[in-house]
Amino acid sequence: MNFSPHSIQPSRFFILLAIITGVAVVLGSIGWPTNEPSHKVVKDELVRKKAPDFELKDASGKVVHLSDYKGKVVLLDFWATWCGPCGIEIPWFTEFQRKYKDRGFTVLGVSMDDGGWKDVKPFVAENKINYQVVLGDDKTSDQYGDVEALPTTFVIDRQGRIASVHVGLVDKKEFDDAIQKLL
Amino acid sequence: MPFKNYFKSLPLVGVLGAVALVAQMAPVVTIAPQATVKAKRGSPATVTLKVNLPAGFHMNSNKPTDPNLIPLTLKWTGGPLQDGAITYPKPQLETYTFTAGKPISIVTGAFDVVTKFKVPAAAETGPAAQTGTLRYQACNDRMCFPPKTIPVNVTVSVE
């Protein structure tokens, strides 16, 4: 197949180019999630969008806002106890919390368990989760683009903007690289 | 190459995009419509639900290997048939990236959930609805989707 622009009229070639560019821009602007490792560790600063603030409770009933962590790099993990792939990532996040917490980093887990703390508390204890966990709700899920597939993880920069999104189980290195880039 | 042929290649962009999107959408589990179950008073009656889970997904079997996983469960909640003994599909033991080498007990594709009922001798004759729910939780090899409960409704004709 010959895709050379010389084989078609220039105006048509540019129309085609415009369509393809348009599709790419639209997909890029809605944060098109893919399972493939992104070529960029984090999005360019200019295209990062503000992470929606929320108000959720931790196991002690304390209200937690995302904005409480402003100035820190936050790894925001939507997960559930019944989600096998989430269970693989949690030890990584525990390690990141230990490794980077003194450099202005934190992990915040948002559990999407319908069963609430009776399911989540034992899991947190059993897996020695060393970061704050809150119970998620539909409103927060909707704010973050109707999070349905778990795990879905957002890496948020110090200015509270979403620097990368990871849907499904990805490589540990993808998170590590993103965190290091933002610290 | 004529210009119109370029448009033939354009759907590829859409297809790749659609594949990426579909990979992240929860699977739609279906139960095939069933013919009316004829049940004779004082005799056994069998209801077979034909369930289908799209390719590329699995759901936990009725007896998951990990207590945190949510089992496939059929519950009958109403209707003339009683004392249903449920037989779930035979599970497969599979390993995935996220199981760290440990097999998990799952079901995939099309399968039957069979219930053998007793029809009470005093059951009212005529058509009636036997109702229940099927609860499952599905995943693919990289992500999981929230547990779902779907209604089950079977027409029974008691004779």
Mean pLDDT across chain B, nearest whole number? 86
Pick the residue with more confidence: A95 or B8?
Answer: A95
Run of H or E including B6 = helix B3-22
Q: Which of A84, A57, A28, A83 is nearest to A140 (CA)?
A: A57
Distance CA B159, CA B156 (A): 10
Q: Are residues A13 and A94 located together in one domain of the fold?
A: no
Q: Provide the pLDDT for residue A89.
A: 97
Q: Does residue B11 lie within any of the structural domains?
A: no
pLDDT band at B78 (very low <50, low <70, confident <90, very high): very high
Could you give the CA distance from residue B78 to residue B43 in angstroms, rounded to a whole number?
A: 18
A172: chain B residues, CB-CB within 8 Å: none
In which band, very low, low, confident or very high, does the pLDDT at A13 lie, cut at 50, 70 and 90? Answer: low
Mention every residue, 6+ apart, whose C-beta is less than 8 A from residue A108.
Answer: A64, A66, A69, A74, A75, A76, A77, A131, A132, A133, A134
**CATH code of A58's domain:** 3.40.30.10
- Please give the tally of structural domains in chain A: 2
pLDDT of residue A99: 97
Residue B142, in any domain of the structure: yes
A42 CA to chain B: closest CA distance, Å?
Answer: 20
**Chain B residues within an 8 Å CB radius of A27:** 17
Same-domain pairing of A24 and A106:
no
Cβ of B139 within 8 Å of Cβ of A81? The answer is no
What pLDDT, on a 0 to 100 scale, did the predictor assign at position A39? Answer: 60
* pLDDT top residue among B114 and A6: B114
Chain segment A60-112, per-residue pLDDT in tens: 999 999 999 999 999 999 999 999 999 999 999 999 999 999 999 999 999 99
pLDDT of residue A17: 59
Q: How far is CA A96 from CA A34, A75, A160, B121, in A?
A: 23, 9, 19, 65
Cβ–Cβ below 8 Å for A82 and B147: yes
- CA B99 to chain A, closest CA, distance in angstroms equals 7
> What 3-state DSSP class applies to A153?
strand
Please identify among residues 13-52 of chain A the ones whose CB lies closer than 8 Å to any CB of chain B: 16, 19-20, 23, 27, 32-35
Q: Are A73 and A150 part of one and the same domain?
A: yes
A63 and A9 in a common domain: no
DSSP reduced 3-state for B113: strand
Q: Which domain holds residue A110?
A: 38-182
A46 lies in the same domain as A22: no
In B, which residues are within 8 Å of A123 by CB distance? 68
CATH number at residue B148: 2.60.40.10
Please tell me the distance in Å from A45's CA to the nearest CA on chain B. Answer: 25
B98 in reach of chain A (CB within 8 A):
yes
Residue B33 belongs to some domain of the structure: yes
Residue A41 — φ and ψ, nearest 5°? -65, -45
The predicted-structure confidence for B121-148, as pLDDT tens digits, reads as follows 999 999 999 999 999 999 999 999 999 9
pLDDT in tens, A40-67: 899 999 999 999 999 999 999 999 999 9
- The domain tally of chain B equals 1
Task: Specify the pLDDT at position B83.
Answer: 81
> So what's the pLDDT on residue A38?
45
pLDDT score, position A9: 57
The C-alpha atoms of residue A166 and residue A75 are separated, in whole angstroms, by: 11
From the CA of B82, how many Å to the nearest CA of chain A? 30
Q: Are A58 and A114 within one domain?
A: yes
Q: What is the pLDDT of residues B20-59, one digit of tens each?
A: 444 468 899 999 988 999 999 999 999 999 999 999 999 9
Same domain, residue pair A42 and A94: yes
Residue of chain A with shortest Cα separation from B101: A88
Share of chain A above pLDDT 90, in %: 77
Query: Mind telling me how many Å the CA of A103 is from chain B's nearest CA?
Result: 30
Domain match, A15 and A49 both: no
Domain presence at residue B15: no
A59 and A136, same domain (yes or no):
yes
Mutation site for A-interface testing, chosen from B5, B6, B57, B135 by largest number of A Cβ within 10 Å: B6
Confidence class for position A20, pLDDT limits 50, 70, 90: low
Partners of B147 on chain A (C-beta within 8 Å) are 82, 114
Reported as a single tens digit per residue, the pLDDT across A141-175 is 999 999 999 999 999 999 999 999 999 999 999 99
Q: Are A4 and A68 in the same domain?
A: no
Measured CA to CA, the distance from residue A88 to residue A169 in angstroms comes to 8
Can you give the residue range of the structural domain that contains B132? 27-158
Neighbours of A114 (CB within 10 A): 12
Pair (A8, A68) in one structural domain: no
